[in-house]
Amino acid sequence: MALATRSAFFIREVGTRFAESEEKSDKIKQNEIFAIEVQKMAKQHMFYVIFMFSRKRIEQNAPKDANLKEHLTNLLKVYALKQLKNDSTDLFETGFFGKGSG
């Protein structure tokens, strides 16, 4: 849920700023004005997509050994926590964490 919130936040923020920009050329907006924001947005979204595809793959193609499925699920959780540990400041800005959680 946190990865989805962070991804959606970046998409909304960058999309809004992109649309409100007075520059006429989308190419200039994307490659010059908002290049860093677009890159960060894409990166955060890819973390979320990788997580969701991996989770779906584990669920749909469950290994015969139940322990292996549990280990893969735990590994995926570790991946998500590592991504959030690396950059969770945006979740405070989105309001994901309630009042007093900082």
Residues 60-76 pLDDT 10s: 988 888 899 999 999 99
Parent domain of 40: 2-94
CB distance 100 to 20 below 8 Å: no
Assigned domain for 101 exists: no
Domain total of the chain: 1
pLDDT value of position 19: 85
Exposed, middle or buried by CB within 10 Å (0-12, 13-18, 19+), for 96?
Answer: middle
> What predicted TM-score, i.e. pTM, was given to this entire model?
0.76
Q: Confirm whether 99 is domain-assigned.
A: no
Residue 102 located in a structural domain: no
In a domain, 29, yes or no: yes
